[in-house]
Amino acid sequence: MPKQTFFNLPDAKRRLIIDTALEEFAFNTYDKASLSQIVLKAGIAKGSMYQYFNDKDELYTYLVEYVSEKKLSFINEALPQLRNDFFLLYKEVIFVAARFDIINPLYSSFLYSVGKDSHNPAISKKIMASSASFIEQMLEKAYSQGQIRKDINIKLAAFIISYLSVDVGEYIGEKYGFSYLSVLKSKLPNVPISDNQLEEVLDELIDFIKRGIASTI
């Protein structure tokens, strides 16, 4: 947790520090991300940074929580009434989550970088685990309602689906020829992909999850 001093800061300054740090961590590995660079770009003194945070790790951890919180509350707010059908519900959740990423390249590139960074495996594991358990809950409900095959291993399915939900971002980036990082670098306000394009990929993914790929004849 940051020190109280950090929260006493005027909003604009606090936000500037957060954004500058996010950018540094989005573009660099944890190890290569440099506090010296962050304070330089934010225009504050090194010492000030240590009035706000005890060390680099605390800053990093705070950023992860900060952005995760943003994303989660965005999803909760944007999610319409709950659907009963698992696949429809899943689609809506992912759609909203992807929308968040598209609107907020800074946040999404940061989170992407966090997911990959093996500096602190516990953090990325925690993120994946909570995502998997969220999906597991959805699956269990659907299972009890007969929407899921009886011989499905729910734990494995939840695991697969949560990983796929992350990987699909990579696929979209490749298919439409961009990366979050390059968008960030270009200073564009958001990722150049339309709702329709997003929905198309999502539908294919869900069809895969639903029915598999084997021909049924």
Partner DNA sequence: CAGCCATATGACTATATGGTCACAGAAAGG
Partner DNA sequence: CCTTTCTGTGACCATATAGTCATATGGCTG
Sites of contact with a second copy (CB under 8 A): 29-32, 87, 113, 116-119, 128, 146-153, 155-157, 159-160, 163-164, 167, 170-171, 174-175, 201, 204-205, 207-217
- Name which of a second copy, DNA, none residue 69 binds, using a CB cut-off of 5 to 8 Å depending on partner kind: none
Distance, in Å, from the CA atom of 53 to the CA atom of 36, rounded to the nearest integer, reads 14
85 binds DNA (CB under 7 A): no
Residue 207, both tokens: 């069809």
How far is the C-alpha of 217 from the C-alpha of 198, rounded, in Å?
31
Residue 117 interacts with, from DNA, a second copy, none (CB under 5-8 Å by kind): a second copy
* 61 touches DNA by CB under 7 A: no
State in angstroms the smallest separation of the CB of 83 from a second copy.
15
Binding window for DNA (CB under 7 A); candidates: 2-10, 128-136, 151-159, 165-173: 2-10
Does 56 bind DNA (CB under 7 A)? Our answer is yes
Q: Which residues of 58-84 are buried (b: 16+ CB within 10 A; e: fewer)?
A: ebbbbbbebbbeebeebbeeeeeeeee
Name 208's Cβ contacts closer than 8 Å, sequence gap at least 6.
none
